[in-house]
């Protein structure tokens, strides 16, 4: 990590320090992200080419990966790196497991780059639902598929209205999502209470459902 203190330094000294850092390729760390300056090379014909350099470590050996600007890639150690006209910026592509707040009877297990909360007694049981992790992931994927489909339908409806067509009758995709959530059809795998329910918390009582649906249909 490089700290540059600007007090008691003339502009020329600061410029010299910046040039020195660029020449030696010192990597600067901003929070959890790392930045390295853009490099250039000149061919035997005088052609100048800019590139970014990423260090790949394998045990005791280190290799240099050189990529051109407008390049983005992900590494096996869960970092996303982007090379642009300013240099290379690499940031963690997953949330820091230490920042996750989970119950005492659970712990975080990394599945690739995905922090997964599981029961301490069983690494394959979801922390909040007490269901197998694979089942929870399948439910989440099914929910994502429903939301993706509804979003596509909504875009098509907006395009139809923009071309002068009539607005479709019946509930909108947003209303369908809300009705599914309130009825418990969309289960939240990370409900803090650990109970099956809608995306926005436990399901409402069945006696309230007709009034909620009528209110949404009339909105």
Residue 104 resides in a domain: no
Domain boundary among 92, 113, 143: 92
The domain in which residue 211 lies consists of 128-217
Q: What distance in Å separates the CA atoms of residue 64 and residue 106, rounded to the nearest whole number?
A: 40
Output the pLDDT for position 175: 65
Residues 18 and 80 placed together within one structural domain of the fold:
yes
**Count of domains in the chain?**
2
125 vs 192, which has greater pLDDT? 125
Domain boundary among 38, 64, 92: 92
Tens digits of residue pLDDT in 19-76 = 444 433 444 444 489 999 999 999 999 999 999 999 888 888 888 999 999 999 998 8
Predicted structure pTM score: 0.47
Residues 84 and 132 placed together within one structural domain of the fold:
no
């Amino acid at each position: 990590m490089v700290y540059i203190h600007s007090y008691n330094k003339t502009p020329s000294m600061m410029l010299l320090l910046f040039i020195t850092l660029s020449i030696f390729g010192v990597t600067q760390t901003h929070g959890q992200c790392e930045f390295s300056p853009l490099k250039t090379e000149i061919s035997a014909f005088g052609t100048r080419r800019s590139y970014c350099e990423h260090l790949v470590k394998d045990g005791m050996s280190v290799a240099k990966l050189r990529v051109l600007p407008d390049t983005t890639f992900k590494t096996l150690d869960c970092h996303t790196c982007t090379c642009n006209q300013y240099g290379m910026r690499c940031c963690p592509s997953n949330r820091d497991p230490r920042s996750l707040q989970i119950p005492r009877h659970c712990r975080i297990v990394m599945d690739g780059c995905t922090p997964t909360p599981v029961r301490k007694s069983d690494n394959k049981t979801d922390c909040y639902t007490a269901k197998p992790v694979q089942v929870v992931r399948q439910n989440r994927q099914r929910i994502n598929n429903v939301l993706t489909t509804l979003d596509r339908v909504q875009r098509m409806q907006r395009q139809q209205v923009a071309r002068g067509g009539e607005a479709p009758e019946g509930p909108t995709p947003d209303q369908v999502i809300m009705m599914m959530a309130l009825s418990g059809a969309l289960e939240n795998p990370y409900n803090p209470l650990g109970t099956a329910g809608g995306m926005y918390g436990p399901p409402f009582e069945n006696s309230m459902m007709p009034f909620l649906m009528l209110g949404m249909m009339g909105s």
